[in-house]
Structure 1
Amino acid sequence: MRRPGVIYVLLGALQTLLLAGLLSACARPVEKGVTELVYASPYSPNHPFSKADQEWMAFVEKQSQGRLKVRPVWSGALLSSDMSMEELRHGVADIGLVTPIYVRGGTHLIRIQSGFYQGADSVESQVALYRCIAAENPQVGRELAGLKVLAVQGGTLPGLVTATRPVKNLSDIKGLRIRAPTELLSVLDSLGADPVNMPMGEVYSAMAKGVIDGVIAPEDTFKSLHFAEISKHFYQIAVPRGAYPARAMSEKRWNALSAEDRAVLEQGIGMWEAALARQVRAAVDKGKEEAAAYKVSFHPASAADQQRFDAIYLRDSEANARHLKAFGIDGDAAFRSARKAVQGRDRISCGSEI
């Protein structure tokens, strides 16, 4: 008798294939000599990430002299947050926004390495550190099998957004149910919070309904994700932010492109990452303005609280790395390579360059 789990996997694969077939049947005709690539994102076209995506689309079309055209599908109409990598591998879209830090399985090191970034405060240094980690730890590539990464994404440093209860020091976190990325779950647990992990797209509803009390997030989310509408406080504890591969293409689709078209997409990697960095920084200013309009209170963290938080973060990052041994992954080596690469605030140097 076939096990239920296998049946669900088969049904999921069938659903994916049917969706891919439907999309293929509904695809719009394109001009002769033009290759259309479908890009999917869970965000609306007005989100800062999407604005960077649109800059990249224009770049690709211009650099290819019109040979490549990118058709966007926004607002989660095509890819899901937690299965986007698998959906891309199956051809649901050609290119998509991926979040391996939320994937339910198969990206153990990518999820945990996002907690190795203390000292990498700028978007650029975070992207550089990710590339150091990926270069020195082949497990990262194994977790990305079947995909061609087209952009790595970092971000501005988050703090703690809370709906109703103000947090003015670390002791105030005790008892709060807080959405956080994987690498911060144990840190918040050590501080007495009740941490949970969920895609950011689900946070607004969860916080509005009181399912969670707050979220680890940067200031741009007050506008970009409308958190100013449902929150009253922001605790300015500087939380290290990790980088991860955030835009990817099906390797099968990549290999089907001409060498000239692949060269254009290779050129677009740096451009896309720069656009993302520029858009997220601009979004912070807009987020602060939105928070001020809604009278969100900002509470700075003391130097002592920041030092305590940093110490717990680094301790738990190393412990999380060790726990990867259960999956046959040398997390210690990845942690050591990350710490070795951080040469000072925002100074990153890989391997033999040190």
Structure 2
Amino acid sequence: MTGWKLIGMVAALMLLAACAPAKPAGGVEVLRYASPYSPNHPFSRADIAWMKHVEKATGGRIKIQPFWGGALISSDQSVIELRHGVADIALITPIYMRSGMHVMKTQAGFYGGVRTIEDQVAVYRCLEQAFPIFGQEMAGVHVLAVQGGNLPNVLTRDKPVRGLADLRGLRLRAPGELTPVLQSLGVDVVTMPMGEVYSAISKGVVDGVVAPADAVKSLHFNEVAQHLSLLQVSRGAYPARAISEARWRALSPDLRRVLTEATPVWEAALAREIGKAEAEGMAMARSEGMSIVPVDPAEQARFDAAYDAEALRNAQRLAEYGLPGEAIYRKARAVIAQGTPVKAC
């Protein structure tokens, strides 16, 4: 065996040892937590707050060992990876899974008119209670927290968007699920990794991006975009933190109870940190001289109607998989029609 091969083998063994499940010592359960984000990301700050709460609430009987920056888990296969034990607990994104998760992906578009993270989570809980398919798609993991998010706006390089007519002809980077509704309004939709958007706007490859205001600070879009339109694009909640089912069952009932009782703590921390990031992004947009472009309520209502019409079409397509998409959509709309804040299903 050559020296280089020996070094490679040793490195591989060290990596496997680092990723192996931690052994409980003295009655302490060590749970590995995996996230694709850095520890300074708003999501991670909420995760750390939850970790501290759990360790304190269990009197140190649970210790959380974090692995940041995608060391253990990816964004597009996170649920499968967690099911198979690459970590004990993880940040998961079922709405970005490469395959399957038809209901999870589609239901995220049923929240038209919902404006707060708390209401997004409340609507999701109502749907989850009413339709067993939600739990079936998450089989193999036990959900510990549901997450909503800041509403995307429209950031543009040169042309301000004051109404739907201003969207026509623009080339915008947008999430794939928004492609049909934006195309119906005359937008040339581009899909590309968010990390490439700064350069694309700078070079004029795209005219702008559909993204929350927090991206102004986190991705420095104030340097390449002049305008932030307050057109609000609705979005929904989804299961975002979970523990593998096998690891969940291995915990004692009292520790499972603590983790269950910590769910609102985690969800509140996520809402707080996400909201803080939004406020910081908006403040930077103003301080850096971006124009904050208001949108007439009638124009917002027209956009919401187009968004909901596309959501219904997507819901009806779930029938091809034998899934109750339209029933889920109708339930979401009925819950939202009761008004906000959402208090009952």
- TM-score normalised over the length of structure 2: 0.88
Moved more, 64-73 or 53-62: 64-73
User: Is 1:185 the counterpart of 2:185 in the alignment?
Assistant: no
Q: For structure 1, which segment, 232-241 or 208-217, has the greater mean C-alpha deviation from structure 2 after superposition?
A: 208-217
Which residue does 1:47 correspond to in 2? 41
The counterpart of 1:78, out of the listed 68, 72, 77, is 72
Aligned partner of residue 95 in structure 2, secondary structure: coil
Out of 331-340 and 132-141, give the one that drifted further. Answer: 132-141
The 2-side partners of 1:72 and 1:173 are apart by 43
Q: Are residues 296 and 272 of structure 1, via their aligned partners in 2, closer, same or farther at CA, if it must alter by over 3 Å?
A: same
Pair 333,128 (structure 1): closer, same or farther in 2 beyond 3 Å? same
Match for residue 282 of structure 1 among 276, 282, 297: 276
Aligned partner of 1:224 among 218, 226, 241 = 218
State the Cα deviation string for residues 214-253 of structure 1 (Å, max 9, x = none): 3322212222344334433211102212111111111111
- The answer on whether the counterparts of 2:23 and 2:30 sit within 8 Å (CA) in structure 1 is no
Decide whether aligned partners of structure 1 residues 179 and 253 sit closer, same or farther in structure 2, where only a CA change above 3 A counts: farther
1:214 to 191, 202, 208: 208
Does the CA-based 8 Å contact 2:121-2:237 persist in structure 1?
yes
Q: CA deviation at 1:334?
A: 0.5
Out of 56-65 and 162-171, give the one that drifted further.
Answer: 162-171
Counterpart pick for 2:127 among 125, 133, 149: 133
Q: Where does 1:132-281 land on structure 2 (aligned, <5 Å)?
A: 132-196=126-190, 203=197, 212-281=206-275
| Pick aligned residue for 1:332 from 301, 326, 330 | 326
- For 2:96, what is the secondary structure of its paired residue? coil
Percent identical: 51
Q: Work out whether residues 114 and 241 of structure 1, in 8 Å CA contact, stay in contact via their aligned partners in 2.
A: yes
Residue deviations 1:121-168 (CA, integer Å, cap 9, x gap): 211111010011111122211211111111101123221123454333
> Is 1:313 matched up with 2:307?
yes
Deviation at 1:77, TM superposition (A): 2.3
Q: How many angstroms apart in 2 are the aligned matches of 1:142 and 1:163?
A: 43
Task: Quote the Cα distance in structure 2 between the aligned partners of 1:210 and 1:289.
Answer: 25
Whether contact under 8 Å (2:286, 2:292) holds in the other structure is no
Residue identity opposite 1:63 in structure 2: A
Q: Quick one: distance in 2 between partners of 1:87 and 1:202? A: 26
272-281 or 56-65, which moves further after superposition?
Answer: 272-281
Distance 1:256 1:205, change over 3 A: farther
Cα distance in 2 for residues equivalent to 1:200 and 1:19? 34
Residue pair 2:23, 2:29 contacting (<8 A) in 1 also: no
Runs of at least 5 residues in structure 2 that lack an aligned partner in the other structure:
1-11
Indicate how the Cα distance of structure 1 residues 27 and 344 shifts in structure 2: closer, same or farther if over 3 A, else same: closer
The CA distance in 2 between the partners of 1:92 and 1:298, in whole Å, is 44
Query: Cα gap change, 1:71/1:203 in structure 2, threshold over 3 Å: closer, same or farther?
Result: farther
Partner residue in 2 for 1:124: 118
Residues 1:101 and 1:331: Cα distance change in structure 2 (over 3 Å): same
Q: TM-score, normalised by structure 1?
A: 0.85
1:103 maps onto 2:97 in alignment? yes
- Cα distance in 2, alignment partners of residues 166 and 19 from structure 1: 55
Pairwise CA RMSD of aligned residues? 2.6
* C-alpha deviation, 1:108, in angstroms: 0.9
Assess if the C-alpha contact under 8 Å between 1:157 and 1:241 holds in 2.
yes
Q: What secondary structure sits across from 2:37 in the alignment?
A: coil
Contact 1:39 1:72 in 2 (8 A): yes
Question: Is the 1:116–1:242 Cα contact (8 Å) retained in structure 2?
Answer: yes
- The answer to whether the Cα contact below 8 Å between 2:113 and 2:304 also exists between their aligned partners in 1 is no
Question: 1:204: Cα distance to partner?
Answer: 5.0
Aligned 8 A contact 1:158 1:239 in 2: yes
Equivalent pairs counted in the alignment come to 334
1:19 and 1:217 map into 2 onto residues whose CA distance is 41
Tell me how far apart the structure 1 counterparts of residues 39 and 73 of structure 2 sit (CA, whole Å). 15
Q: Distance in 2 between matches of 1:254 and 1:111?
A: 25
Q: Which has the larger radius of gyration?
A: 2
